[in-house]
Chains A and B, each alone.
Chain A
């Protein structure tokens, strides 16, 4: 069954499976969307500094994961998703250090969650490269696209998105503890 997760489409191969991994695992997709929306709200200067940090740590974490053999708990991605969702809903503008730290945390959490179980040893590099590409491009494209929102309704959409992401994360966090 775990194989289905790592290769979401049968026969797609390890590289494309890696690309899709951050996009189809719900907690990772949620974190990707909330991080992108949060960074986008901080403005272009913050994006220019935060995105490279996020990409570097994502790459480091993806390739270091087999060595440290530790994956962050699902609840960590959900807590981060809830906090970022609330921030997006409130449209908070924070000092530059916050977006940089958040982008770094995104990279670490997504990267360390890219476990290689069920991936053939000779295809591990392909899967890791795909995961780096999927997570990195996903963050970059989504953040830059959301940052370009200028119209009132576009800003409303992003805030509503944040509130629902926060609500989803909080509900599932409570569900896990009941």
Chain B
């Protein structure tokens, strides 16, 4: 079936959307990193709570562009695993760096996630439906992280959030060793 037909038919849209929804959920390292972005944002408070989850997808576009034009980014999968380690560790050690540093760190890792997304896009039946599914799913993971991060103001919540960060870092570490 021609791609132009798939771009505009019901099956292509549904298939692309379902693939996009499932993609972030089936990669535990990706999933952990997305939750960590929201968690760290909530942990740092305003304006990081909205800035980090907004910076991530916008910088991710740069990584996706590199993937689409075929520019190789070395160690993409290692970078994705490393993002879960680093972002989880930031929450675990209760790091509160200056906002530009936090945004730059999140942006740096977004390039790896974007590159993986960009290289997979040409294979999907409907690119926009795939992207929208991916967006909904990843956005929900960010919001799950933010929701967990709001626990920081509850009694015992500070330690709970830091423990979540440590678990995310450990998840990333497991994938990092798997790739190395």
Q: Spell out A's residues near B (CB within 8 Å).
A: 1-2, 4-5, 8, 24-27, 29-30, 78, 86, 89, 152-153, 155-157, 159-168, 170-172, 174-176, 178
Contact = CB atoms under 8 A, between A and B. Distances in A.
Interface in B1-50: 1, 5, 8-11, 13, 17, 46, 49-50
Contacts of B65: 171, 174
Interface of B: 1, 5, 8-11, 13, 17, 46, 49-50, 53-58, 60-61, 64-65, 68-69, 117-118, 121-122, 126-129, 131-132, 134-136, 138-139, 142-143, 146-147, 150
B83 to A, nearest CB: 17
Given A5-B8, A5-B10, A164-B138, A172 B131 contact: yes
A171 B121 contact: yes
A170 B128 contact: no
A160 B132 contact: no
Contacts of B134: 168
Contacts, number: 106
A30 B131 CA distance: 11
B54 A160 contact: yes
Given A2-B8, A174-B64, A160 B53 contact: yes
Contact of B128 (A26, A156, A163, A164): A26
B68 A167 contact: no
B54 A171 contact: no
B112 to A, nearest CB: 15
B58 A166 contact: yes
B128 A160 contact: no
